[in-house]
């Protein structure tokens, strides 16, 4: 068992809706010893204003040198997969291989789909996600594409593959066979966040269902463990790591005051909460 990496996970809206604030936050995070900064991907904010995650990630890539970064998660079902593939490849090049792409079927909680006439039915979003990810992977690999699917049509000649590998993590919120298959085919999973991280026993069951053998596989878990919060939560990071967690995502939420969020960032990752076995 290895100590997990530590990232920040936050929405680019509300107090974080100014992209300049997000870039400053990422620079401070790198200086404080965090390993990554990951942004939600929404069109309609729960609290305005809102910043575009991909534009902001490009700016963060230029302002930092070590941090992993990416959307956590982006919904291919409401994005044109060929545009998503190019956006991701561009940020991967700008960051010299530090990009991680989190993907999921998305949510219509604030109207990201329904307000724009996109399908809101979960099975349709799931099918569009799987088809879109196949297109994205093929484009990153430089493969010839003559794709005539249920949702997308693509006609591309072969090209040079992207120079940097782009890990793809998928959101995993159920044991539905399609969800498990999608997660097992990816480079990592992000169990859908809730008010609390999953219990270690529950996480171990998820990991056992989806983690393939014979290759690296990341498991990202979100919650609050920093002692810098006004009311610090008690999270057993050691037990979560023993259950398979490789990334702890400290969650900053849009109703958290910006000053308090930056205090958490500046305090650095909660490494003291991790206890190595004797």
**DSSP secondary structure letter of residue 162:** P
Catalytic site residue from 3, 30, 109, 176: 109
Catalytic site residue from 42, 131, 162, 250: 42
The 10 Å Cβ neighbour count of residue 69 is 27
CB 146 within 8 A of CB 135: no
Relative orientation angle of helices 200-210 and 177-184, to the nearest 10 degrees: 80
Q: Alpha carbon 275 to chain centroid distance?
A: 26
In the residue annotation, 109 being an active-site residue is answered as: yes
Q: Looking at the chain, list the stretches that DSSP marks H as alpha helix, in order from N- to C-terminal side.
A: 19-32, 53-63, 81-94, 122-140, 177-184, 200-210, 237-242, 258-267
Please give the Cα distance from 3 to 16 (Å, whole number). 29
Reply yes or no: is the peptide bond before residue 73 cis, omega within 30 of 0: yes
**CA-CA-CA-CA torsion sign (188, 192, 197, 200):** negative
CB 109 within 8 A of CB 47: no
Please give the Cα distance from 246 to 211 (Å, whole number). 12
Please give the Cα distance from 135 to 245 (Å, whole number). 29
Number of alpha carbons in the 13 Å side-chain half-sphere of residue 70: 28
**Strand 145-148 to 153-156 pairing:** antiparallel
Q: How close are the terminal C-alpha atoms of the chain, in Å?
A: 12
Q: Tell me how many degrees the CA angle 210-74-169 measures, rounded to the nearest 5.
A: 25
Catalytic residues: 42, 109
């Amino acid at each position: 068992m290895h100590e997990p990496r530590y990232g920040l996970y936050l929405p680019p809206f509300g107090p974080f809706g100014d992209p300049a604030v997000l870039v400053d936050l990422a620079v401070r995070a790198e200086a404080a010893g965090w390993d990554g900064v990951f942004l939600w991907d929404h069109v309609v904010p729960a609290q305005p204003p809102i910043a575009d995650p991909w534009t902001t990630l490009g700016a963060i890539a230029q302002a930092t040198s070590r941090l992993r970064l990416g959307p956590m998660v982006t919904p291919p079902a409401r994005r044109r997969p060929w545009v998503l593939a190019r956006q991701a490849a561009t940020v991967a090049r700008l960051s010299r291989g530090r990009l991680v792409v989190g993907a999921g079927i998305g949510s219509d909680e604030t109207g990201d789909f329904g307000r724009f006439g996109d399908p809101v039915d979960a099975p349709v979003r799931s099918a569009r996600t799987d088809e879109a990810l196949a297109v994205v992977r093929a484009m990153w690999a430089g493969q010839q594409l003559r794709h005539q699917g249920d949702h997308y049509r693509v006609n591309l000649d072969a090209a040079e593959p992207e120079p940097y590998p782009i890990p793809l993590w998928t959101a995993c919120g159920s044991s539905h066979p399609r969800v498990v298959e999608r997660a097992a085919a990816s480079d990592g999973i992000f169990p859908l966040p809730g008010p609390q991280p999953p219990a270690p026993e529950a996480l171990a069951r998820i990991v056992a269902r989806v983690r393939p053998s014979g290759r690296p596989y990341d498991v990202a878990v979100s919650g609050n463990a920093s002692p810098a919060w006004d009311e610090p939560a008690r999270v057993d990071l050691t037990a979560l790591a023993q259950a398979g967690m490789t990334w702890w995502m400290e969650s900053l939420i849009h109703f958290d005051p910006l000053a308090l969020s930056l205090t958490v960032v500046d305090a650095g990752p909660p490494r003291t909460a991790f206890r190595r076995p004797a």
